[in-house]
Structure 1
Amino acid sequence: MKTSVSFSVLIWANVARAKNNEAPLYARITVNKKRVSIGLKRKVNLTVWDSKKAMVTNRDQNARLTNKYIDQVKAQLFQAFQELKGEGKMITSVAIKERYLGTDQEYQSLEDLIDYHNTTLKDKLHKDTMRHYKSSQSYLRKFIKKKFKTSDIYLKDLNYSFIIGFESFLRAYQPTDHQRRIGNNTVMKHIQRLRKMVTMAFHMEWIIRDPFVKFKSTYIKSERTFLTEEELKSIEELDSEIERINLVKDLFIFSCYTGISYSDIVKLTTDNVLIGMDGGNWIVTKRQKTGTPVKIPILEPAQNLILKYKDNLRAGVTGTLFPTLSNQKINTYLKEIADLCGIKKNLTFHMARHTFATTITLTNGVPIETVSKLLGHTKLATTQIYARVIEQKVSDDMNVLKTLLSNKSKQNLEENKSKSSS
């Protein structure tokens, strides 16, 4: 375990506890400004004690034995430090004290847990999920380095204060590749991953208490943003001279008419396009995120895009239906598309999936149970979020209509009064 360590030992006489001018001796161990003291079970006469040199100044037999004992204590503490360092153990003032006293135990550290978690679950968790865990683990390391001036801590030292400190660190942290700080729900996701790892440690009895017992996650409900028919049409009609813009536009439109996420679209091949029970073309695949099978009848706009890229050279090289780009670049290009189309919304690729659920299906009368199947949701409650969005839009539209009709009614009433008075 690599860590930058400052280590020192100070032998001192505790004057506050002196009796008859004799004070007990202590060894103070300091590691990275963290201190602990050990009672040495020896006393010295303060009249012959040199606090600067940490030694007895007179030359009798008792003084020589005391000074020799002090030298042995310092040597043994330094040896404890070297042993921990050589064993790759975490070096703290408490660890050195316990090694010196012979009371140290085999404590697992947070890095031990991270290594065990990643090794054990690497074949069970999806690679994207594992990537998210590694991101959270990276933030944990940054927090520990900043807060504790070390690279690791023992699991036994995890407590509620650590969790709150990590939360505060995340809320204040601004990634170098982002313009804004980490959002609330993303902070909660990072803490949720830490919680799952700590729960694993608790079940394996690496820790005797769960530090998350008093912690409560606070998620903020976010609206499902989607495109209106007019906004979707403006993107469909966009004709750019830039090839990458046209490709991103086509992939986005394909997602709007199928509900398939970008990570799943880029893996689609001709093997995923099958003849369905109705004789039409269907996409049959599994959601990468959940492993849930989905079967989606291909609507005409999506079918036209498949035909458009049928003989594309880049798609031919990868053996996929469409050429691919990195997800990060995709969202950057979508912002360009939004500007070109005059769309003020924060256009992201996931918005296409929301648009499929709302503008394409639910708004056009497709039952919510069917939409849930098409999206590959494992719970109907997840899909019902979109239904509430549609209800809100209906309510807003009807309120606009009510206002319009009310204004017309007032206008007609005034016109009738005007006619009768004339």
Structure 2
Amino acid sequence: SIINTNRKTSKPQPRGTNTINALFNKLRAFFNWCLDNEKTTNRPFKNYESTPDLYGTPIYITIEERNQILNTDLSHRPQLAIQRDIFIFQCLIGCRVGDLYKMTSSNVINSAIEYIPRKTKEERSATTRVPLNDTAKGLLQQYKGKDKEGRIFPFISEQKYNEAIKEIFRLSDITRSVTVINPTTREEEKRPINEIASSHLARRTFVGNLYKKVKDPNLVGALSGHKEGSRAFARYRDIDEEMKAELIKMLD
């Protein structure tokens, strides 16, 4: 099997402020719709002010680490090897997992992937086009026709995919310690990167490595599907400051 599926029933855990904010924003939108359509006169969010979301510096892997994962021998875990290949492909096109799971051969056009990001579709229906490098083309060819539903890869559930990614990192010896924000306590803590690895880390890997090279959020955003002026890139500028500090130290 891909991962150990034996689980114990657990009690609900405390949720972080960012998660609560996201849920409340959806609930507020629902009540606003009810008000606009005269379904209710209640205004439960009239005086509600949410706590600002808190994000740490984006965590992602280097190109060298990505290649280390790609070259790790997983022949003894063939199902896990499939998920590794999917993760690598996601690192190479930078899309959200929800968009990735909907892709079929029709999204492959003239050596590029074309899709309309689901998250921003209602705000703008611009097509995102990402040219494919040789590795990405090779992976597509390797799995061509393998999915019964006609998708570009034989996907599993998103939850199992995320669990598989953590195991892939461990087997690839990508276990370095990173500093993250605990979503519940909002305090910094050290965690092995394999324990926090997920499909979204593939997207951050694409964005982070490109941003380090070109420093142009609009150009990178055109490839990642971020809308223009996205606040997400402000967090990548923190990484840029670290690079500048390292360069200045070279003058000592």
**With structure 1 as the length reference, what TM-score do the two structures score?**
0.48
Q: CA deviation at 1:203?
A: 2.5
- Given that residues 266 and 323 in structure 1 are in contact (C-alpha distance below 8 angstroms), is that contact kept between their aligned partners in structure 2? no
Aligned residues, how many? 219
- Given that residues 95 and 225 in structure 2 are in contact (C-alpha distance below 8 angstroms), is that contact kept between their aligned partners in structure 1? no
CA distance in 1 between counterparts of 2:79 and 2:164 reads: 8
**Aligned Cα root-mean-square deviation (Å):** 2.4
Match of 1:287 in 2: 117
CA distance in 2 between counterparts of 1:290 and 1:254 reads: 22
- Given that residues 368 and 383 in structure 1 are in contact (C-alpha distance below 8 angstroms), is that contact kept between their aligned partners in structure 2? no
CA distance in 1 between counterparts of 2:40 and 2:152 reads: 50
CA distance in 2 between counterparts of 1:208 and 1:222 reads: 35
| Residues 1:349 and 2:199 are matched in the alignment | yes
Query: Do the aligned partners of residues 389 and 271 (structure 1) sit closer, same or farther apart at CA in structure 2, a change above 3 Å counting?
Result: same
Query: Do the aligned partners of residues 207 and 379 (structure 1) sit closer, same or farther apart at CA in structure 2, a change above 3 Å counting?
Result: same
Match of 1:263 in 2: 98
Q: CA deviation at 1:330?
A: 0.5
Listed one character per residue, the Cα deviations across residues 325-375 of structure 1 (whole Å, up to 9, x for unaligned) are 00000111111112222322110101111110111x122226322211111
AA partner of residue 217 (structure 1)? S
Query: Do the aligned partners of residues 203 and 225 (structure 1) sit closer, same or farther apart at CA in structure 2, a change above 3 Å counting?
Result: same
Match of 2:62 in 1: 228
- Given that residues 212 and 240 in structure 2 are in contact (C-alpha distance below 8 angstroms), is that contact kept between their aligned partners in structure 1? no
Match of 1:309 in 2: 143
AA partner of residue 222 (structure 1)? Y
Match of 2:88 in 1: 253
Query: Which of residues 184, 190, 195 is equivalent to 2:28?
Result: 195
Match of 2:183 in 1: none
AA partner of residue 326 (structure 1)? S
Match of 1:212 in 2: 45
CA distance in 2 between counterparts of 1:207 and 1:355 reads: 45
- Given that residues 84 and 165 in structure 2 are in contact (C-alpha distance below 8 angstroms), is that contact kept between their aligned partners in structure 1? yes
Listed one character per residue, the Cα deviations across residues 35-56 of structure 1 (whole Å, up to 9, x for unaligned) are xxxxxxxxxxxxxxxxxxxxxx
- Given that residues 357 and 386 in structure 1 are in contact (C-alpha distance below 8 angstroms), is that contact kept between their aligned partners in structure 2? no
The percent of aligned pairs where both chains have the same amino acid is 26
Match of 2:178 in 1: none
Which structure shows the higher helix fraction? Answer: 1
Question: Whose RCO is larger (CA < 8 A, sep 6+)?
Answer: 2
CA distance in 2 between counterparts of 1:324 and 1:386 reads: 30
Of the structure 1 ranges 241-250 and 207-216, higher mean CA displacement relative to structure 2 is found in: 207-216
CA distance in 2 between counterparts of 1:239 and 1:298 reads: 24
| Residues 1:339 and 2:184 are matched in the alignment | no
Listed one character per residue, the Cα deviations across residues 152-184 of structure 1 (whole Å, up to 9, x for unaligned) are xxxxxxxxxxxxxxxxxxxxxxxx657842111
Query: Which of residues 75, 79, 84 is equivalent to 1:244?
Result: 79
- Given that residues 21 and 53 in structure 2 are in contact (C-alpha distance below 8 angstroms), is that contact kept between their aligned partners in structure 1? no
Match of 1:324 in 2: 155
CA distance in 2 between counterparts of 1:285 and 1:342 reads: 31
Gap runs ≥5 in structure 2: 1-8, 176-191
Query: Do the aligned partners of residues 368 and 246 (structure 1) sit closer, same or farther apart at CA in structure 2, a change above 3 Å counting?
Result: same
Q: CA deviation at 1:190?
A: 1.5
Query: Do the aligned partners of residues 330 and 396 (structure 1) sit closer, same or farther apart at CA in structure 2, a change above 3 Å counting?
Result: farther
CA distance in 1 between counterparts of 2:98 and 2:38 reads: 38
Q: CA deviation at 1:221?
A: 2.5
Query: Do the aligned partners of residues 231 and 274 (structure 1) sit closer, same or farther apart at CA in structure 2, a change above 3 Å counting?
Result: same
Q: CA deviation at 1:393?
A: 3.4
- Given that residues 218 and 228 in structure 2 are in contact (C-alpha distance below 8 angstroms), is that contact kept between their aligned partners in structure 1? no
Match of 2:6 in 1: none
Match of 2:226 in 1: 377
SS at match of 1:381: coil
Q: CA deviation at 1:306?
A: 0.8
Listed one character per residue, the Cα deviations across residues 87-136 of structure 1 (whole Å, up to 9, x for unaligned) are xxxxxxxxxxxxxxxxxxxxxxxxxxxxxxxxxxxxxxxxxxxxxxxxxx
CA distance in 1 between counterparts of 2:211 and 2:23 reads: 33
Q: CA deviation at 1:188?
A: 1.1
Match of 1:166 in 2: none
- Given that residues 372 and 383 in structure 1 are in contact (C-alpha distance below 8 angstroms), is that contact kept between their aligned partners in structure 2? no
Match of 2:186 in 1: none
Q: CA deviation at 1:258?
A: 0.6
CA distance in 2 between counterparts of 1:274 and 1:205 reads: 46
- Point out 4+ residue stretches in structure 1 off by more than 3 angstroms: 176-180, 204-209, 395-399
